[in-house]
Structure 1
Amino acid sequence: MRLIYVFDAYCGWSHGFSATLRQLTARHPGLPVEVVSGGLFTGARRVPVREFGYLQGANAQIAEATGAEFGAAYERLIADGSFVMDSEAAARGVAALREAAPLRAADLAVALQHAFYIDGLSLSDPATYRTVATRTGLDAQAVAAAFTHPRSAAAAAADFQRSARLGVVGFPTLLAAHGDTTTPLAYGHASAAQIEARLAALTHSRRLP
């Protein structure tokens, strides 16, 4: 069995899910976790944040439901409403980090969201990936170079397509995968205990004759 975590680095609810994801990976260090980027802010949705009038209210709801923090630097970044969340750029960054350390993809996804939602760093800026790479013990120059390389753009497009094939309609979505069969474990928000119970039930059912 493996887990498939479909998220968007610019998704506040994905940020809220970070603590749960960290707990799961800590409890199950041998359980593979694939990270797939979704395309939340692409095409016509790639606009200045002022056009999303619900943003502050949504963040307050996320904080209340999950305990997630939204840093002062992030608040300053979006304060005038001109910042544009570009999920294609963020997905290229995820691909660059994932390429550098595939087995650490879940932790790196969390680190990337911390860079945006706490430190207020744009996920369209190559310097952000140098920062995240340095913090996580990766080759900063190699990660930044990978971010701008065409292979990361191709990986981002492949992620968006895979997210659609998996039937994901919102982020974050956590799936358990066994062969070609996937089972939903969480959508939007769930505690580590709730996911543990679902995992245990799923494992038990597979052991039944």
Structure 2
Amino acid sequence: MKLVYVFDAYCGWSHGFSPTLREVASRHPGLPVEVVSGGLFTGSRRVPIREFGHVQGANAAIAELTGARFGEAYERLTADGSFVMDSEAAARGVAALRQVAPERAAELATALQDVFYVDRLSLSDPATYRKVAEDAGLDADAAVAAFESPEAQQAAEADFRRSAVLGVRGFPTLLAVDGDRVTPLAQGRATADEIDRQLTALGAR
């Protein structure tokens, strides 16, 4: 059995779910976590953030319900409104970090959300992946090279297809996958204890 975490790095609810994901992963160190980018802001949805008028209200709800932190720099970003969230670039970055340290994919995915939602670093900028890799004690040059490689684009597209095949309709979604059996554990938000109870019922350790 493994966990499959389908999220989008530019999704506020995914950011709110990060502490739960970290806690579940720490409680089940023997349970692999596959991280898949879902592709929330692609195609016609890749527009300036001002066109999503609900963002600030949604973030306030996320912070209240999950305790997620949204930094002052990020708040200035949303107030300006010109920033474009590009989930394809973010998915390339997730793939790059995953390539450098596959066993730490969940940790790095949550770190990536922190640098956007707290520090407002663009997930389209190679320097962002250098910082995340350096902060994690990883090979920063390798992370940047992976982000800029054609393979990262292919991996991002493969992630989007995998999300669709898994039937994911919203982010974040946490699944338990055991062979052909796919069990939803969380959609949107859940506590680590709630997920634990489901994993226990499935026989996970």
Pair in the same fold by TM > 0.5: yes
Runs of 4+ displaced beyond 3 Å: none
Specify the alignment match of 2:66 in structure 1: 66
Q: Secondary structure at the match of 1:175?
A: strand
- The percent of aligned pairs where both chains have the same amino acid is 72
User: What is the CA-CA distance between 1:145 and the residue it aligns to?
Assistant: 1.1
Q: Relative to structure 2, which stretch is displaced further, 155-164 or 135-144?
A: 135-144
Query: Can you list the C-alpha shifts for 1:101-151, whole angstroms capped at 9, x where unaligned?
Result: 001000000010011001110000000000000000111111011111100
1-structure distance, mates of 2:134, 2:74: 20
User: What is the CA-CA distance between 1:67 and the residue it aligns to?
Assistant: 0.4
1-structure distance, mates of 2:125, 2:131: 10
2-structure distance, mates of 1:180, 1:35: 18
User: What is the CA-CA distance between 1:181 and the residue it aligns to?
Assistant: 1.4
Specify the alignment match of 1:33 in structure 2: 33
Query: Can you list the C-alpha shifts for 1:35-59, whole angstroms capped at 9, x where unaligned?
Result: 0000100000000000000000000
Specify the alignment match of 2:109 in structure 1: 109
Specify the alignment match of 2:42 in structure 1: 42
Unaligned runs of 5+ in 2: none
Specify the alignment match of 2:142 in structure 1: 142
Query: Can you list the C-alpha shifts for 1:18-47, whole angstroms capped at 9, x where unaligned?
Result: 000111111111110000000100000000
User: What is the CA-CA distance between 1:79 and the residue it aligns to?
Assistant: 2.2
Q: Secondary structure at the match of 1:40?
A: coil
Root-mean-square deviation (Å): 0.8
User: Residue type of the partner of 1:150?
Assistant: P
Query: Can you list the C-alpha shifts for 1:67-118, whole angstroms capped at 9, x where unaligned?
Result: 0000111112232100000000000000000000001000000010011001
1-structure distance, mates of 2:79, 2:135: 26
Specify the alignment match of 2:2 in structure 1: 2
2-structure distance, mates of 1:152, 1:202: 34
2-structure distance, mates of 1:73, 1:151: 32
Q: Normalized against structure 2, the TM-score is what? A: 0.98
Q: Normalized against structure 1, the TM-score is what? A: 0.96
